[in-house]
Amino acid sequence: MLINCAAYKDGKKVSDLAPTEISAYLKRRGCFVWVALVDPEPDEMALMQTEFGFHELAVEDALVGEQRPKIEEYGDSLFAVVRTAEIAGEKLNIGEIDVFVGENYVLSVRTRSLQDFKDVRSRCEREPHQLAKGPGFVLYALMDAVVDRYFPVIDRMQSELETIEERIFTEGSARNNFERLYELKRKVLKLKHVVAPLTEAVGRLYGGRVPQVCVDTQEYFRDVSDHLDRVNATIDSIRDTINTAIQVNLSMVAIEDSEVNKRLAAWAAIFAVATALAGIWGMNFKGMPELDWKYGYPAALILMAAVCCYLYYRFRKSGWL
């Protein structure tokens, strides 16, 4: 679906366009066209390919989706794949934005994402001196918006991790903690696979040989790279903390099991004494004079109760019961 299509000159919007008018404005000197699509159909991409002359491999990647973050050069144009991340309820939703950038055009294709980038266009239009830098600045603005939206996701993950850590020492919560920790770890790894390749790709847009469309905006892409480095470092920190929390949780499970085993052992020892005494007097040998004693039965019960009570007292005092 077409979201927006407009022509710009000297950093200012010239006109909104119909898709069939794109090629005419591409011929105007000093103009560039900025088009935004969401979940496009093949015929829409075919029209854009006709208007802009995109490479067929880049169009195929945009239609298929699920691409690894990357930046590819096709002659004087760029094809960038950036993955978006957003928390939807308890799930981490990963979308994609594919950006075609040339000397006089920018086409963004957003798929499987709940986010929109209307604020990016508004920001660029409020800064005509920046927008005058051309399509390279639009690519930066889109990337910067995507990367900035990683931070709320990371904050949410950190808050969730802190909540789990507070429950680690709560008795009986080990299983639930394990499930939540592994689910959080899965989200963190998923986000890592989104961010890490993008860091490498953005590094190609500043310093050394850079694509022509990004020559005037290298310092901006360096800023995006700095943000990505922060995101990567935070993700690694969260992942390390999760691993530590899992180990602590395992230790708490072992401690809880040890406490249960001590209680069982203490009660087993108490009943073992009573069982041993009952077993001795239950042998019924003729040479056991106490069997014929008038007070033998109550005396045996009192002795067993006394020994059991003493053992209970000792175990209780030592913390086993």
pLDDT in tens, 185-198: 999 999 999 999 99
Q: What are phi and psi of 53, to 5 degrees?
A: 75, 40
Question: What is the number of structural domains in the chain?
Answer: 2
- Can you name the residues that pair with 5 across neighbouring β-strands? 35
Distance (Å, rounded) from C-alpha 159 to C-alpha 142?
27
Specify whether 263 is located in the same domain as 139.
Answer: no
- Alpha-carbon 114 to chain mean position: 16
Could you write out the DSSP letters of every residue in 263-316? HHHHHHHHHHHHHHHHHHHTS--TT-GGGG-TTHHHHHHHHHHHHHHHHHHHHH
User: What is the structure's pLDDT at 270?
Assistant: 77
Between 259 and 149, whose confidence is greater?
149
Within 8 A by CB and 6+ apart from 290, the residues are 281, 296, 299
Q: What number is the average pLDDT over the span 140-168?
A: 90
Domain around 17 = 1-143
Q: Of 86, 120, 143, which marks where a domain is finished?
A: 143
pLDDT in tens, 201-246: 888 888 778 888 888 888 988 999 999 999 999 999 999 988 888 8
Q: Is it the case that residue 86 has pLDDT exceeding 70?
A: yes
Q: Hey, is 183 helix, strand or coil?
A: helix
Q: Of 88, 109, 143, which marks where a domain is finished?
A: 143
User: What is the structure's pLDDT at 285?
Assistant: 66
* Residue 118 exposure: Cα atoms within 13 Å on the Cβ side: 6
User: What is the band of 132 on the pLDDT scale with cuts at 50, 70, 90?
Assistant: confident
Between 242 and 294, whose confidence is greater?
242
Q: What number is the average pLDDT over the span 117-135?
A: 87
Q: Of 119, 143, 167, which marks where a domain is finished?
A: 143
Structural domain includes residue 139: yes
Structural domain includes residue 232: no
* Residue 15 exposure: Cα atoms within 13 Å on the Cβ side: 10
Q: What are phi and psi of 110, to 5 degrees?
A: -105, 130
pLDDT in tens, 95-123: 989 999 988 889 999 888 877 888 888 88
